[in-house]
Structure 1
């Protein structure tokens, strides 16, 4: 089945207007247009951290492999407990982790047991040693009411049962997942190949670090924030530097990027009044649309797919202002790249917090304000914005620990109102 064009995707939207596009509609178009990269490789378990799982991991064994003790104490038969009187039992053996006991425990008997040791035959309960009385090498007394039948016993297969899925395809593997696979004896893990992403900035006024700063010029910060955000996603990165506003150089850059990567991210060159040939080259090389999105910051954006010499890549043309680059990356490019990586849909989680002060906002656009989240004396979450919200003030992103997300239909916020908040921790 041929891949749908952007026109195919947008033709289903009766109210589609590229010059006044709501955030949710732009996100839906990108989600429907982008497809995952299907290429699998096997890596050593320790190298799988942060990678996208390419196949379900099915447990071949029961974990744990046998009923075992969750505590240091005494393994016994629950039927021997006396609910009203102390219970005294004879100690017939000691069970250690990795070495159980062969003797079956009869009525009136128990086994001294260590955490993780297999439960002796006949036992279904463990009494923690700190709950016992008058313990000697031969017997122990259990006060009434300290345990009930079945307490402190881990059941065979309680963590994972043989034949059951342990981890599902599309999961971004975390430290706990690495440990879980180790518990199953898995040495190699099938993962999606790393996504290749190339990026560059456009503009005659931009200078790279180390170059002299001529009058009217600025250092290019966007490539460094993009590098950090892409690194967090775990993709392979190709930094193409700064490309001047020259048609030949721009076309060469787009073609090279397209031929060497799965996705291309640019900053600058998509706003009204900027060099028209940047847009012309994007459109000439493929299926690209140019949007004015109902949001602040980050109104202009280009999106599509371009091709060169038989290779194609998805294109995300982000604005040039530093804060707008970060906002559009997180709320548009990030989910698309994760989808390309074959990862499960992972929408950004929003919390709610009380606004410490009023925030001016007009309905009809989505706004992303930099904020500082804290808790008051009662433990309630509260948030205040960082001050001036200009899209060129990168310092405000550094000071903030969250983004206040003011939804499309929302109006001005009063002090004490609840607002949606996106935490930066783990994200930036």
Structure 2
């Protein structure tokens, strides 16, 4: 019997095969949330474009305010979006947040530190300054955020709302992004029934509702994939071969759940091998031991390439976690994302796990009001309730027990599902 394959080794192996798709398309910055940049974004300007005020108040020369209580005439008013004149010595300029600092001014005073007074014939009045300014205070310097020619966002960045705002700040209304991976999804198993087709009270003996199809599709969509749902494929070899052949023609990845073992009713293995190549891995992780990777050549000319194939275990928690830990990084790498590893943090276990396992375990947990982690009472691979109840997993090394108050490694579902 082959030794179990460590999860990190399996992931590294998969990522060497995940050659980025290479195709790019143009979308508006409004529509690019979650997409992956295909090219660097280089700024053609500096941000801010000039020194500007970070407060509503008054622009002054520090030399004109040697002490608190100085009264200066207000020589001009500078709202955001307009440029003022050079500041005359011995005067102040009324200025608003975002407005360019006039030449000659070297500090901004908050309006709360000043008192507007009537006085000058031009109607702008005077201002009493109640604090001594420091040179440079409340001035945002030109280019302090972005310099001209800087790479603001790098190719391979998965865009978030903040990054879309950053792209807009340098004038980019369109972005070149990687095309969405095309994924074919289907389930195998005559025991599977779709919700809505048969009411619970009429379910035949041995039948189960197909839950995997729902969370796998949702996870693929969150990753920006275009998903074709092939439904439930009957447990017959020819039907499985036909489904795989059809799916390989127009998809980058074929994803299945169930049927990756070697039983008489498990037709995925011989079907994939009849069309292409397949590797079956026994992973050293719990839950989630059986996993399959292969390639199915597309019909047509020699340049048509091959579709990737991934077969996940049928137990729902196993399928859920193998997707999160293996399929998710693979799909992100297809889009050109470089850093695909989920981030873990140290956390306190408010539970005991006294029996070590030979496999690396992923225990479903959630945070409690005291800041520690509680353990779901049933860690079976078939109990999907544990994933809905929890807010993450403890990544527990093989052979490791856990005592209450131990520090453990926690991975949030927010990391694994984003």
TM-score (norm 1): 0.90
Which runs of no fewer than 5 residues in structure 1 stay unpaired?
1-16
2:215 aligns to what?
225
Q: Which of 93, 105, 117 in structure 2 is aligned with 1:111?
A: 93
> What secondary structure is seen at the aligned counterpart in 2 of 1:225?
helix
Q: Which of 305, 318, 321 in structure 2 is aligned with 1:324?
A: 318
Question: What CA distance in whole angstroms lies between the structure 2 residues aligned with 1:319 and 1:142?
Answer: 73
User: Is 1:138 the equivalent of 2:121?
Assistant: no
Q: Quote how far apart the aligned CAs of 1:267 are.
A: 0.3
2:121 aligns to what?
none
Q: CA deviation digits over 1:204-238, x for unaligned, max 9?
A: 11112233332211111100010111111111011
Question: What CA distance in whole angstroms lies between the structure 2 residues aligned with 1:364 and 1:254?
Answer: 35
Q: CA deviation digits over 1:18-71, x for unaligned, max 9?
A: 541111111111112221101011112212111111111111122222111110
Q: Map residues 270-285 of structure 1 onto 2, 5 A cutoff.
A: 270-273=260-263, 275-285=265-275
Q: Map residues 113-262 of structure 1 onto 2, 5 A cutoff.
A: 113-133=95-115, 135-136=117-118, 137-145=124-132, 147-212=133-198, 213-262=203-252
Question: What CA distance in whole angstroms lies between the structure 2 residues aligned with 1:277 and 1:96?
Answer: 72
**In 2 relative to 1, CA 177–192 (structure 1 residues): closer, same or farther, beyond 3 Å?**
same
1:6 aligns to what?
none
Question: What CA distance in whole angstroms lies between the structure 1 residues aligned with 2:395 and 2:356?
Answer: 13
Aligned residues: 404
Question: What CA distance in whole angstroms lies between the structure 2 residues aligned with 1:224 and 1:356?
Answer: 32
2:335 aligns to what?
341
Question: What CA distance in whole angstroms lies between the structure 2 residues aligned with 1:45 and 1:36?
Answer: 22
Q: Quote how far apart the aligned CAs of 1:274 are.
A: 5.7
Question: What CA distance in whole angstroms lies between the structure 2 residues aligned with 1:368 and 1:240?
Answer: 30
Which runs of no fewer than 5 residues in structure 2 stay unpaired?
119-123
Q: CA deviation digits over 1:356-398, x for unaligned, max 9?
A: 110134254211111111342xxxx310111101111111111
User: Is 1:31 the equivalent of 2:18?
Assistant: no
Q: CA deviation digits over 1:313-340, x for unaligned, max 9?
A: 1111100001101100001110011000
**In 2 relative to 1, CA 334–417 (structure 1 residues): closer, same or farther, beyond 3 Å?**
same
1:285, 1:308 within 8 Å by CA — same for their partners in 2? no
Q: Give me the CA root mean square deviation.
A: 1.8
> What secondary structure is seen at the aligned counterpart in 2 of 1:324?
helix
Question: What CA distance in whole angstroms lies between the structure 1 residues aligned with 2:2 and 2:307?
Answer: 22
Q: Which of 70, 77, 84 in structure 2 is aligned with 1:94?
A: 77
**In 2 relative to 1, CA 135–283 (structure 1 residues): closer, same or farther, beyond 3 Å?**
farther
**In 2 relative to 1, CA 283–72 (structure 1 residues): closer, same or farther, beyond 3 Å?**
same
1:387 aligns to what?
377
2:365, 2:375 within 8 Å by CA — same for their partners in 1? yes
**In 2 relative to 1, CA 274–169 (structure 1 residues): closer, same or farther, beyond 3 Å?**
farther
Question: What CA distance in whole angstroms lies between the structure 1 residues aligned with 2:350 and 2:64?
Answer: 61
